[in-house]
A and B are shown apart, each in its own frame.
Chain A
Amino acid sequence: MNQPGMDKFRENLRNIKGSFAASLLRTKRPISGRSRAAVMLNNFFLHIQGVRTNVNTLRPAYTFGLGLVSLFLLFFTTVSGILLMIYYNPSTGDAYNSVKDITYVVFAGRLMRNMHKWAGEGMIIFVMLHMARVFYTGSYSRPREFNWLVGIMLLTLTFVLNLSGYMLPWDQLSYWALVIVSNIIQSSKELTDALGITPYFDIGGMAKEFFLGGTVPGKATLIRVYFLHIMLLPILLFIFLGVHFWRIRKDGGLSRPAGAVEKSVFSWPDLLRAEAAVFMLCLAGVLVYSFYVDAPLREMANPLIPENPAKAPWYFLGLQEMVSYSAFTGGIAAPALAILGLALIPYLDREEGHAGVWFSGRQGMITALQSLLAGAVVLAGLLAFVIRFGWFRNWWPDVPQILIIMVNPAGIWVAFVALWSLRVIKKTGSTRMGAIALFTMFLVSYVMFTYVGTELRGPNWEFYWMKSRWPVH
């Protein structure tokens, strides 16, 4: 048996595990500082992250892993979404039945659909929480202003992706949400109507027909929404996500207190271990939630029987509540001002030295608390007033619409937030404090408007304390 060829073969066979690992990792076992650095640099998936990680980045109470959670939720929606695409059929005749098959027939279909739905809606919550973390730790300040803008883009895309997915089952919820949304898109018509120029320049109607591919939601709409959901918006999301991560590295990693000692550890294994832990927690959370809570599926879409109340998905109900005061203000002016305000924050507050500390210290915490209280009280008062006494149209039925567009609860609230923030800047002499006031009130309004629209509005968009008190019909 003295055959050199066979010896070599046996030797290679015995060593296959080691040689494959070496070819995969392009490096030795990561046990020394040098090899730990090499493994991060030499791996496509790991080189996005630094060789060393600042200890502040690894403090759970600094980031709460919120950005990571958003990323992992996106990963779950992507995987489950690809699987759902095997069975889903985007035509008005078959969409509903294919979703029904996925839910009731396909192996693990219900779990995948639930995961897709809940991970997607979870992204809304966690992306917003991540934004709040970034904001309150002052991490938008120089040189991270642009990444804040990319983040706002990602938040917007998260909203629109969720919304487009909501339309796809083509059940009653989808259809009537589509009606509501297409009319929110149309809402500049309220203004052109009030000015009397709609017959000549109907930009709202044009936008609506552009989106629907017709005058009413139909088969052209479904294929458009499907294309947006699986193609255009995901591509945009992943591009912006790439830019977002790239800028984190280029801007010097995660923010940290200016004066702190620069202590760092090797990313392998400390950072990767922390990330893996967050991943497992996320997966467990989504799986358990999706196992017990089913994504809703109503009757097949019927254009002749409106849902009552007809509601947009919950994350847009704050918008719908404002639209019920004035379509133009609630559907266009207020959200545009909100996004513009958020986007301008890093350019209007250029104070240095606030990064890395929650609320930038005691004064910021007090400002945030004051804004939270004042905002909640004023907005609750405003909402209670509108619910109890109505608005101009209830007092003077013949009031011109233009007056309602100019003076309505949503507009008054936006003006209050702006004035309050300016007052804080004046009082404290700090633009950072003004930004904290503005952002806190933005969060307050998102939560409160959404709560009112979701929980307190029943049939005919009337006020009810509880869903159980809705009249039966």
Chain B
Amino acid sequence: MDDKTGDKDGITRRGFLGTASLWAVVLSSLTLLAGIFRMSKADVYYEKSRRFKIGRPENFPVGTVKKLDDKRVFIFSDNDGLYAVSSVCTHLGCIVNAVDWGFMCPCHGSKFNRDGRVISGPAPRNLPWFRITRHIDGNLVVDAGREIKTGTKFKV
């Protein structure tokens, strides 16, 4: 009856406040740390937009193979339509070369078939295909931020 602040487990007011303040220190430190990391994560990317125009469909007659080096994509055109395949190797990010049977990475020898599927080498995934749309001004737009299913072609 003397100690009105304590219960059977022996939690005293002093003990409770001590534990609570200790956890306050821990939690605020962790929050600060999280804030430091969040601040270090860039919110502004000084890069070109991942959506870009590639010109009008007439510039890509059937049979075209165009390597857009600075955009890191290949643009192909065949009877079924246009499609954009990433030229960035999925292994370590080197730029792949187009060869007659598909693609070949010069860094670690990954090989991909003409659809960008891995044939051999260390690449863990297929070369992604990107969405192509038509802008209102008639130009084609590739969105390298949007992967689509391999084989999806853009009908002109």
State the A residues within 8 Å of B (CB). 176, 179-180, 182-184, 189-190, 193-194, 209-210, 213-216, 218-220, 304, 306, 308-310, 323-327, 390, 393-394, 397, 401, 459-462
Residue numbers in A under 8 Å from B34 (CB-CB): none
Q: How does the 8 Å CB contact mask read for B34-62 relative to A, with 1 for contact and 0 for none?
A: 00010011100111001000000000000
Q: How far is the CA of A304 from the CA of B106 in the complex (A)?
A: 12
Within the complex, what minimum Cβ distance (angstroms) separates A141 from chain B? 33
Give the shortest distance, in Å, between B44 (CB) and chain A (any CB): 8
Q: Is the CB of A306 within 8 A of B95?
A: yes
Size category of the binding interface on chain B? 20 to 34
Min CB gap B147→A, angstroms: 9
Q: Can you list 13 pairs linking A and B with CB atoms under 8 Å apart?
A: A210-B41, A215-B47, A304-B69, A304-B70, A306-B94, A308-B107, A310-B94, A310-B106, A310-B107, A327-B91, A397-B119, A460-B105, A460-B107
Q: Is the CB–CB distance between A461 and B107 below 8 Å?
A: yes
Given contacts A180-B92, A193-B124, A323-B122, 7 further A-B contacts (CB under 8 A): A210-B41, A216-B47, A325-B122, A327-B122, A397-B119, A401-B124, A461-B107
Chain B residues contacting A184 (CB-CB under 8 Å) are 92
Residues of B within 8 A of A310 (CB): 92, 94, 106-107
Known contacts A401-B124, A401-B125, A460-B106; A183 and B118 CB within 8 A of each other: no
Contact indicator A306/B106 (Cβ below 8 Å): yes
B109 at the interface (CB under 8 A from A): yes
In the bound complex, residues from chain A placing their C-beta under 8 Å from that of B93 are: 179-180, 182-183, 216
For A210, list chain B residues within 8 Å (CB): 37, 40-42
Binding site for A on B (CB under 8 A): 37, 40-42, 45-47, 50, 69-70, 91-95, 104-109, 118-122, 124-125
**Complex CA–CA separation, A376 to B154 (angstroms):** 55
CB pair B45–A179 under 8 Å, yes or no, is: no
Complex interface: chain B residues within 8 A of A326 (CB): 122, 124
> 8 shortest A-B CB distances, which residue pairs?
A460-B109, A461-B108, A213-B42, A183-B92, A308-B106, A310-B107, A190-B124, A214-B45
Whether B47 lies near A218 (C-beta < 8 A) is: yes
A183 to B106, CA, bound (A): 16
Kindly list chain A residues whose C-beta atoms are within 8 Å of the C-beta of B106. 306, 308-310, 459-460
Min CB distance, B89 to chain A, in Å? 9
